[in-house]
Amino acid sequence: MFADGAKCMERERKTGHSARMAHGVDIKTAGGEGALPAEGGPATMGWAGHLRATLALGVPLVGSQIGLMLINTTDTIMLGWYSVEALAAAVLATPLFFTVMIFGSGFSQAVMPIAAQAEGQGDTRGVRRAVRMGLWVAIGYSALVMAPLWHTERLLLALGQDQDVAALAGEYMRVAQWAMFPTLVAQGLRAFLSSIERPRIIFWSTVAGALLNAFLNWILIFGNWGAPEMGVRGAALASLGTTTLTLVILVAHVMLAKKASEYTIFARFWRADWPDLREVLRLGLPISITILAEVGMFVFSSVMMGWLGVVALAAHGIAMQITSIAFMVPLGLSQAATVRIGRAFGRGDAVGLNRAAATVMAVCLLFALVSAAMFWLMPAPLISLFLDNSKPDAPAVVLYAVPLLMTAAVFSVFDTSQVVGAGMLRGLRDTRVPMLLAIFSYWVVGFPMAYGLGFLAGLEGVGVWSGLAVGLFFAAASMNSRFLALRPRG
């Protein structure tokens, strides 16, 4: 296999882990590139079978991603109904929370290819060790980020945000930050259940959380049913309750469901498995930095939009919510690609690996084209869903957001291609070079272009979003070129 994968496998051999894939397939390297034999794995699955397998795993993962996004979307809608100031505060605080959370979730995503390859080899113990160490990292990371999140208001003031909006954002974060623990531990359990291809509980637990979040938002933001009217603090409390319920459901399933309980994930949970911990950190840190590079670019785009005023920031937040909901489809399917490619890698099935990759990419690009058409043809109706149109400032927000969403019709195709490419590379345990590609694409190309077009060229919001599109194009081209270079021939 490619050089990074070969080194990883060699380290595993030296520490007592298997250095060969199932069915006796040896790792080979040649100039950083290698090949798995087309034969030696299970019977080659046809294209229709790959499509069914992709959808069987991917649809529940997509549903869970949409459910997670709907939780945030519900906050955005209800806070938009409450006041533009509350919405603007959430637009600043929520991306900051998600940036910190997403960095930590990179370690959970590292668990997915490790556990998937172990599952492909029939190594139940290897699955358990990887998941357990991933949960260790999730808990430790959550504890470390508590103090920085507590000072959100000071950070936003230092970045030049409005004083009242920054105060509301800080108020939101001091409650929401406690959701970091259940969120990241749940991410680790989702990685485990995905790797053993048991995604349905992931979907249903997310649905339960989304319903609870909407109910708690309605009560706590507006003060319904005799509850105090809490505004942004109510939205934060609703999110905390939601993530806690989701975690409880997943833990119960992992402990009680027949298939999942066979792995005894929580048995001797206190026991360290140092080689597996190092592998989670080795793969996870580049994944976290890769995700941070992309998400950080979008977070700083919110900061730049804040410089343009409250209306621009609210319009940006709504347009970003709409595009983020659509992005959950390729994001969920990219996770399915990681699992399916990892399992094919583990059992030595080169043909299956390549067909799994091609199937996921085709499905995702088809969806991207459909969503792009919707952004281009009906932007105003989509944006109006997020506003109380009786409010005097609603028309100005819609007017500003329409060209942003039309610009998103272009970059959604690039965004889809890059996230699927990154997911496929993770299935091959290739994370270090994709990290460097992401940093270059988003911060050497994308962010300077967004600032230059938005402020130096005077295009304001449309210029900022156009710069984001350029960065995503570079990421998509480089990630997928690398996968094509590294993929096994068969």
Query: What is the tens place of the pLDDT at every residue in 23-32?
Result: 333 333 322 3
Of 388 and 243, the one with more pLDDT: 243
Q: What is the DSSP letter of 472?
A: H
Q: Which two tokens stand for residue 290?
A: 């890769």
Q: Say what percent of the chain tops pLDDT 90.
A: 41
DSSP per-residue codes, 84-125: HHHHHHHHHHHHHHHHHHHHHHHHHHHHHHHHHHHHHTT-HH
DSSP SS3 for 271? coil
List the chain domain ranges. Answer: 3-105+115-486
User: What is the rounded CA–CA span in Å between residue 375 and residue 409?
Assistant: 5
Report the predicted TM-score, pTM, of the whole model to 2 decimal places.
Answer: 0.78
Average pLDDT, the chain: 84
CA angle 337, 340, 343 (to 5 degrees): 140
- Over the stretch 152-199, which tens digit does the pLDDT of each residue have? 888 888 878 778 888 888 888 999 899 999 999 999 999 999 998 888
Contact (Cβ atoms closer than 8 angstroms) between residue 340 and residue 31: no
Q: What region does 23 belong to: left with phi over 0, alpha with psi -120 to 50, or beta? A: left
What number of residues does the chain have?
490
Q: Which two tokens stand for residue 338?
A: 């990681």
